[in-house]
Structure 1
Amino acid sequence: MPPVTPEYLARRRAAILAAAARCFAANGFHATSMPDVCAEAGMSAGGVYRYFDSKETLIAELAELELAPVYDVLRAAADAEPLLRPAEVIDLVHRTVLADNPSSLLLQVWAEAVHNPAVHDSVRRRTAGILDILSSFTRRWMPGCSEDAALSAARALMAVSMGTFVLQNVMEASAERTATHTLLESLDGVVRAELQNE
């Protein structure tokens, strides 16, 4: 029997995570059992438990991985020329999230973060990193702004991105989706009206 290499172990682990992601996306975290994951992965229970000792461990790892590609793609785009506009950044985030997993998986991660401390910590940690990168975009969009203003704008951009994701991929999933730039243009009018009334 050939020796088991680290690369082989990494591939097996990634295959289990991918199978779990498909199961969780289709049926939800709590309706999915470890036997479901084993069947989807085409592995015995012993094979799966060699890498993950529980469903909770799988969920926590998937939560950690779900936003990692977003961080990477934003970091690569932050210093690029030409500078992406806000709607383009939001669309880039959404495309990255959906590249390997359906929208339902991210929504479940957000819901799980409400009551699962391990998932909450993972999401919070990843979010802090993403906010830091988004701040680099907002500083370029608003030259001369303070660090506090850049971070506040980054938080607003993240909030709009999350809301847009839900609208486009849940509420409008079976209909024609509203373009992100259209949503931002409409929001700009609302914000201007609010500022005029202050």
Structure 2
Amino acid sequence: MPQVTPEYLAERRSSILAAARRCFAARGFHSTSMPDICAEAGMSAGGVYRYFDGKDELIRELAETAMAPVLRALREAADADPMPGPAGIIDLIHRTLLTDGASTATAPFMLQVWAEVVHNPGLRESQRRHTTELLDLLSAFTRRWADLDEESARAAARALTAMSLGTFLMQNVVEVDGEPTSATTLLDSLNGIICRSDHGG
């Protein structure tokens, strides 16, 4: 019998996770069954259960790794010359979420993860860790953009995170059937309102 290598096992796990992601994106977490995932992966139930205990473990692992490409892209962007501005960072986050190894299945998958966080303590803790790391990275950008102290940079990073999440929802839910509004347009419009308000206009 041929020896099963670690590379083979890792490839099989990755294939099952990709199949699960496609199923979750198409049907939702709660409407997807393990037989659906087995069929999508082209494997028997015994083959899939060799690698994962069940659907909950698949959801946890996919959610745990979903933000890793974004964090990696932000670390790389911090060394770019010129360094991206706020709209560029928002676009980078979205572009990475939508294209890194998962095609168009990522947008509906991420929306489901964020919804599931509301009543799934395990996912909530996972996403909290990712958010903390995201804020650390974004704070480094906001400090350099505006020469802010640590507290102000952190507050600005939270605002940027809120804009990123809101823009993602706008582009992938509200405007899903039309032409998405760019992050630059949204930020410029908001900035115009803020400036007028600050000057009493």
TM-score range, shorter chain: over 0.9
Match of 1:162 in 2: 165
Amino acid of the structure 1 residue aligned with 2:196: A
**Corresponding residue to 1:111 among 109, 115, 128:** 115
Deviations 1:45-98 (A, max 9, x none): 111111110111111111101111101110111121101011111001001000
TM-score (norm 1): 0.96
- Residue 61 (structure 2) aligns with: 61
2:175 is matched with: 172
Partner of 1:72: 72
Question: Residue in 2 aligned with 1:51?
Answer: 51
- The whole-number CA distance in structure 2 between the counterparts of 1:28 and 1:59 is 11
Give the structure 2 partner of residue 190 of structure 1: 193
Amino acid at match of 2:149: S
Note the C-alpha offset of 1:118. 1.0
Structure 2 equivalent of residue 94 of structure 1: 94
Report the count of equivalent residues. Answer: 196
The amino acid that maps onto 1:134 is L
Using the aligned pairs only, state the percent identity.
60
Q: Which runs of 5+ in 2 are unaligned?
A: none
Partner SS state of residue 102, structure 1: helix
1:101-128 CA-to-partner distances (Å, cap 9, x unmatched) read: 3311000000011111111111111111
Cα distance, 1:44 vs structure 2? 0.8
The residue type equivalent to 1:155 in the other structure is: R
RMSD: 1.0
**More deviation, 151-160/94-103:** 94-103
Instruction: Provide TM-score, normalisation by structure 2.
Output: 0.94
Q: Which amino acid aligns with 1:130?
A: L
What is the CA–CA distance in structure 2 between the aligned matches of 1:46 and 1:131, rounded to whole Å? Answer: 41
Q: Which amino acid aligns with 1:137?
A: F
Aligned residue in 2 for 1:150? 153
Shift of 1:4: 0.6
